[in-house]
Structure 1
Amino acid sequence: MLKAVIFDLDGVLVDSEPLMRYAFERAYRHVIGEGHPPIERYLEHMGESFPHIMRHLGLPLTLWEPYRRLCQENLDRVKVFEGSRALLERLGSLGLRLAVLTGKDRARALQTLEHGDLLGYFDEVVASDQLQHPKPHPEGIFRALRLLDCAPPEAVMIGDAVSDILCAERAGVLSVAVTWGIKPERVQTLCQPDFIVHDWEALTDTLLGLRDSMAVAGAHLNLVSEEIPALMTEAALHPES
């Protein structure tokens, strides 16, 4: 049965795109100077860790400190998506365990969750600087599952980026792609999520449907496992001629 829901943070629970654009463009001007900041290419890699994105774009890691500082100083540019809290409250009331798996470093992830008054909903927060291999590698999901005491078939990953969906796929976890995040066309065309939803009502219905269907499947498996000894005994008593 469904026991845990793992959420990406940016583009799923909070709208941080305005802050990312602001911080990246100013950090680029501070470190690089002239030229056009490749902000669109940067946003294509949301969900991945900042150092990984810098290496992919061929940019210096010295962008990190001014970018981090600008993000921390301008959290007022981050808004919680309408629908986030209602869904988290609903899932928590059903006894589901909740985690965040983010490409952010842990300090900024916690600051963002606290800023949005969301931190209290989550049992665990896993950030990229806690991992040897951030998304799209499955290490983050495996870490979250260990902390939540769940197996891959008992969990689902909610994300808006290609890296989220690939991470779930490689971990053997169901995935739900939301389309209100950053670069939604990419997650719909460059990977194969198990479900795609376009609004919070659809996401809620999908998760509740998974909870019910996985509970039925789990009950069926338990019934079958309980019947196996009896069937084996019956076969021994009445072997085929």
Structure 2
Amino acid sequence: MRLIMFDMDGTLVDSSNAITNTINYVRGNLGLETLEKNFILEKVNDPDINSAEFFYGTKEFTDEQVVLFEEYYNEHCLLDLEVYDGITKLIEDLKDDFTLAVATNASSDFARKMLDHVGIEKHFSSILGFNNVKNPKPHPEMVHKILNEHNILNNNAQLIGDSHKDIMAATNAGVDSVLVNWGFSNHEKDAIHTVAELEQKIFEKFK
């Protein structure tokens, strides 16, 4: 058995407008100024940042922030949602030869809804979100959980993501990883730029 895990936001789908608009909606309700889209996307993926503190000025997310975020995001997460070019074909090409899974720091409920909307949810055997673990990425818990669920060894798995949080989670679990550069971060090194390059990385790992 061979397993490929994908991050969702910025890797499979471009959900950048929904994420930035939701964060700015919460900030607006807290009396904070709006932030520029690219700035938000860069910081969302930064493993060295406490997101609650950075975006909302609190040590942890408050109940109010969570409710504001989830209500707005639930209503708007399908707007402007697109699968990145080439991803649907890649998933369809892989689905017969690999177990496919999603490891996202979003809620797994939102992930299912969004991936179903773009027509690829059915191809994933597992979709895990932050709500399914104690410790989201960059902690390896989510990766371990998916490996255990499918009884697959870490050397028979690969994780694909657009953020250093993804790569750290994979590395901490002893899993090979691929960093992609079509997502929310602009990586200067060690990242690939096309789905064709990603196919090559998968082939190299599993040939």
Please, what TM-score do these two structures have when normalized by structure 1?
Answer: 0.76
CA distance in 2, matches of 1:98, 1:178: 17
Question: What is the SS of the residue equivalent to 1:175?
Answer: strand
SS at 1:158's partner residue? strand
8 Å contact from structure 1 (residues 161, 184) kept in 2: no
Task: Measure, in 2, the Cα distance between the counterparts of 1:139 and 1:21.
Answer: 27
Preserved CA contact (<8 Å) 1:197 1:203: yes
Partner in structure 1 of residue 201 of structure 2:
206
Q: Are the equivalent residues in 2 in contact too, given 1:156–1:173 (CA < 8 A)?
A: yes
2:93 maps to 90
The answer to whether the Cα contact below 8 Å between 1:101 and 1:141 also exists between their aligned partners in 2 is: yes
1:24 and 1:67 in contact (8 A); partners too: yes
Matched, 1:117 2:115: no
Say which one has the larger Rg: 1
Q: Which amino acid aligns with 1:208?
A: F
| Paired residue secondary structure (1:110) | helix
Instruction: Give matches, 1:129-144, under 5 Å.
Output: 129-144=131-146
TM-score by length of 2: 0.88
CA distance 1:67–1:54, shift in 2 (3 Å)? same
2: CA distance between counterparts of 1:203 and 1:42? Answer: 22
Match of 1:231 in 2: none
Aligned pairs for 1:60-71 within 5 A: 60-61=61-62, 62-71=64-73
1:42 offset after TM fit, Å?
A: 6.1
- Among residues 90, 94, 101, which one is paired with 1:99 in the alignment? 101
1:16 aligns with 2:15: yes
Equivalent residue of 1:184, what SS?
coil
SS of equivalent residue, structure 2 residue 184 = coil
Q: Which runs of 5+ in 2 are unaligned?
A: none
Deviation of 1:36 (Å) = 4.0
1:118 and 1:22, CA in 2 relative to 1: closer, same or farther beyond 3 A? same
Partner of 2:51: 53
After the TM superposition, which parts of structure 1 deviate over 6 Å for at least 4 consecutive aligned residues? none
- Percent identity between matched residues is 25
Question: Does the Cα contact within 8 Å between 2:41 and 2:185 map onto a contact in 1?
Answer: no
Taking the aligned partners of 2:81 and 2:108, their CA distance within structure 1 comes to 17
Deviation at 1:45, TM superposition (A): 2.7
1:160 maps to what in 2?
Answer: 162
- Equivalent residue letter for 1:53: S
Per the alignment, residue 84 of structure 2 pairs with: 81
Instruction: Report Cα offsets for 1:124-159 as digits up to 9, x if no partner.
Output: 111111101111000000001011220111100000
CA contact (8 A) 2:20 2:40 kept: no
- In structure 2, C-alpha distance between the alignment counterparts of 1:47 and 1:115, rounded to whole Å: 28
- What are the superposed Cα offsets for residues 20-74 of structure 1, whole Å, 9 maximum, x if unpaired? 11111112102x12434476256423387xxx62145533522221221222111
Please state which structure has a larger fraction of its residues in helix: 1
Task: Report the secondary structure of 2:9's partner residue.
Answer: coil
Q: CA RMSD in A?
A: 2.0
Q: In 1, are the aligned partners of 2:144 and 2:173 still within 8 Å (CA)? A: yes
Given the alignment, which residue of 28, 31, 34 partners 1:33? 31
Shift of 1:91: 0.8
Matches of 2:201 and 2:130, distance apart in 1: 27
- Contact 1:47/1:103 (CA < 8 Å) preserved in 2? no
Indicate if the aligned counterparts of 1:8 and 1:47 stay in contact, CA closer than 8 A: no
5+ long unaligned stretches in structure 1: 213-241
